[in-house]
Chain A
Amino acid sequence: MEFQIDKKDGKARACTIKTQHSTIKTPVFMPVGTVGSVKALDALDLATFIQPEIILANTYHMYIRPGDDVVAKMGKLHGFTRYPKSFLTDSGGFQAFSLSKNVKIDEGGITFASHVDGSKHYFTPKKVIDIQHNLGSDIMMILDDLSSSTCNARTHSL
């Protein structure tokens, strides 16, 4: 990734980020493509009407369904969704905390039950990197312990 500050005005910054898939001019807002689609739109709509240089996909959702192995086999996020620009993926920790049931956190990671079928899963720092390798995102996020700011994030419906 290349990063350069084009101009500063006070504390505000205009920067350029170059990833493998696009050149992102900042400040930038990344539309959320939760399950690999920005809800109600497809890649053609995005390219035609919005033209974002980067969108977000949620690791938790892609891992639970269809599975990061499926995404990897189908050409990772770019090949699977046909959105050719950059993807940022979150670590999945936030949704594991907020969406799933029976969340337990220990020194090694986060145990949770899938919100789809109740199956048990364990996210560790390495595991979420492996998943994001499969997803092929341009920017991945690490697993963090969210409990410092949100003891109870259960009511969030991301």
Chain B
Amino acid sequence: MTLVALPATQERIASSIDRTTRWAEESIDYFREKQKEGVGVDQNIFAIIQGGTDNVFRKKSATELCAMDYDGFAIGGLSVGEANQDMYDTVEWTTQFMPEEKPRYLMGVGTPEDLVENVSRGIDMFDCVMPTRNARNGTLFTSFGKVNIKKLEFKTDEGPIDPECECIVCQTYSRSYLRHLFRAKEITYFRLGTIHNLYYYLHLMKQMREAILEGRFENFKSEFYAKRKLR
């Protein structure tokens, strides 16, 4: 990520939070009014909590927005260059002011580790360009951490990207072939790398869901980190 977060002044943050709340009031009124006219009846609308990594501002923004008739709520303005722990702390703090009975969406996040950490803090939805963009740059995700496919060590490696992965790419192609396609800048590489990385991300979410359903999320989390130390 290259987004640079510059510390905004307190005053500027305060006025921006107020503006976000005013816009949110205007938005929900307009959206519900349109629905009464028959427009967007099957559509849903989420508001976005702002406030940087400041607890006071996050609480204010969350409290004001969550009082409105939205279908779900997002936490925005994170993953913009702040330290990981600051992101986790902000999410942990902010979710307590968000309703239980509506979806919680953390925008623009993140690495596999970020997903695990924020699910454990009560987030339901994520999006990020990381799996797709990294695939195109040659960075592939595995159960054992990231792999850079262009490395010399994969020149004649017959193994799959991730021996634990069940995606079509890992079932079919060797690291050696993928490395070759990447180095040759073949269009096919972009497709295969993207399929693998997205499969990995969606599979990780499935594993987390199963762990939650079976009441063993903390165990899952420990195993997730243990495997990444093996490499």
Question: Which residues B27-69 have CB closer than 8 A to chain A?
Answer: 27-28, 30-31, 34, 39-40, 42-48, 50-53, 57
Q: A12-B217, A158-B129 are in contact. Are A144 and B24 (CB under 8 A)?
A: yes
How far apart are A100's CB and chain B's nearest CB, in angstroms? 15
Partner of B50, one of A30, A32, A149: A149
State which of B9-17, B146-154, B176-184 sits at the interface with chain A. Answer: B9-17
Whether B76 contacts A38 by the Cβ 8 Å rule is no
A-B interface pairs (CB < 8 A), number: 253
Interface size in chain A (residues, C-beta < 8 A): 69
Asked whether, in the complex, the Cβ of A41 is within 8 Å of the Cβ of B194, the reply is yes
Per-position binary interface string of chain B over residues 201-231, scored 1 when its CB falls under 8 Å from any chain A CB and 0 otherwise: 1101110110111011110000000000000
Residue of A nearest to B49 (CB): A144
Once the chains bind, are B52 and A8 in contact (CB under 8 Å)? no
A11 contacts B121, CB within 8 Å?
yes
Known A-B contacts A27-B125, A133-B40, A146-B76; the reply to A157 vs B2 at CB < 8 A is: yes
Minimum distance in angstroms from A1 CB to a CB of chain B: 4
A153 touches which of B43, B80, B215 (Cβ 8 Å): B80
Point out the residues of chain B lying under 8 angstroms from A27, CB to CB: 115, 119, 123-126, 205, 208-209, 212
Q: Are B125 and A142 in contact (CB under 8 A)?
A: no
Q: Mark A1-27, 1 if CB is under 8 A from B, else 0.
A: 101011111111111010110000111
Q: Are B44 and A153 in contact (CB under 8 A)?
A: no
Given A14-B209, A14-B213: A142 in contact with B47 (beta carbons within 8 A): yes
Whole-angstrom distance from the CB of B63 to the nearest CB of chain A? 15
From B4, B127, B212, B216, give the contact of A13 (CB < 8 A).
B212
Q: Is the CB of A41 within 8 A of B191?
A: yes
C-alpha gap A98/B12 in the complex (Å): 18
Beta-carbon contact of B198 and A31 below 8 Å: yes
CB distance A145 to B71 under 8 Å? no
Minimum CB–CB distance for A112 against chain B, Å: 16
**Are A31's CB and B132's CB within 8 A?**
yes
Contact call A145/B50, Cβ cutoff below 8 A: yes
Kindly report which residue of chain A lies nearest to residue B127, judged by CB atoms: A30
Does B185 make an interface contact (CB < 8 A)? no
Q: Would B122 and A147 count as touching, CB distance under 8 A?
A: no
Q: List A94-148 residues whose CB lies under 8 Å from chain B.
A: 94, 98, 107, 125-126, 129, 132-133, 136-148
Decide: A15 and B2 in contact? CB cutoff 8 A. no
Contact A30 B125 (CB under 8 A): yes
Complex interface: chain A residues within 8 A of B12 (CB): 147-148, 151
A residues less than 8 Å from B100 (CB atoms) = 5
Q: Assuming A9-B215, A11-B120, is B129 touching A32 (CB within 8 A)? A: yes
Report A's interface with B, CB cutoff 8 A: 1, 3, 5-15, 17, 19-20, 25-32, 34, 38-41, 45, 49-52, 56, 88, 90-91, 94, 98, 107, 125-126, 129, 132-133, 136-158
A sample of 14 cross-chain residue pairs with beta-carbon separation below 8 angstroms, ordered by A number, consists of A5-B100, A11-B121, A14-B213, A27-B208, A29-B205, A98-B3, A125-B23, A129-B27, A142-B47, A144-B47, A146-B16, A153-B80, A154-B4, A155-B3
